[in-house]
Structure 1
């Protein structure tokens, strides 16, 4: 029996209940064809230590130190926010395929880069507001608006793709 269903999702029996940043690092290392040994060398981490923190079995992993995570992220050319967003996606749905999580995490990390400074700038330019007016509870309605915009943009991409395909066949 295959671990991957026809939809491209791993079957629930083969996926841990939650994936972590370490799982994302393992995916990225595998995609770049970098062995754990080589990753450890490039990151300046002892091979056995690197093998223990990046063990395929989550139950057998050692805790990773922040500087080790930073070094591994640097070697793999992955931003921390990207890895954290991938982990967050899996926390909500642990069977999302690695490639889908990667693309969404890269897109989202690009989107949020510099966003806090932009929000601070926007609020400080509005007469009568200051940064104390920025509150956590404002995040959900803003996220809903952003999701609507993203949905419309991808629908437009799909529409243009369909138009192009129809045009190609009419020629």
Structure 2
């Protein structure tokens, strides 16, 4: 039996359908972490590179996820330390997104056993569309989906 693959990104692509954009980090999915509200995972992720409250607020309140990313790039952060923690930051961000947005959680669970692939042609770490890329974003979402399934089974 052929494995189903669902491609996603922050905008439709040749492979990423509009109905699957909710899997991406730019998708509007309000969440609160440690008493601070973020409009998207992208806002949360980039704000976590910094400890300065003014920089964090500037990123958090950016009008779009792309602007949040751009604002973060204006500042310097400890890239060596960030490399060590960025995957856990992302894991916590997507966990918060799906836990706090039940309709998105149900949609993620409805993907069943499909392989999830970020159709990102620029990032070989998070994306899965470049030859030899790691598809970390897709893998984190599939791991979260399995955790959510197990938690639901444990409640039955």
Same fold (TM over 0.5): no
Which structure: greater strand fraction? 2
Q: TM-score, normalised by structure 1?
A: 0.25
Which structure: greater helix fraction? 1
Larger gyration radius, structure 1 or structure 2 = 1
Q: TM-score, normalised by structure 2?
A: 0.27
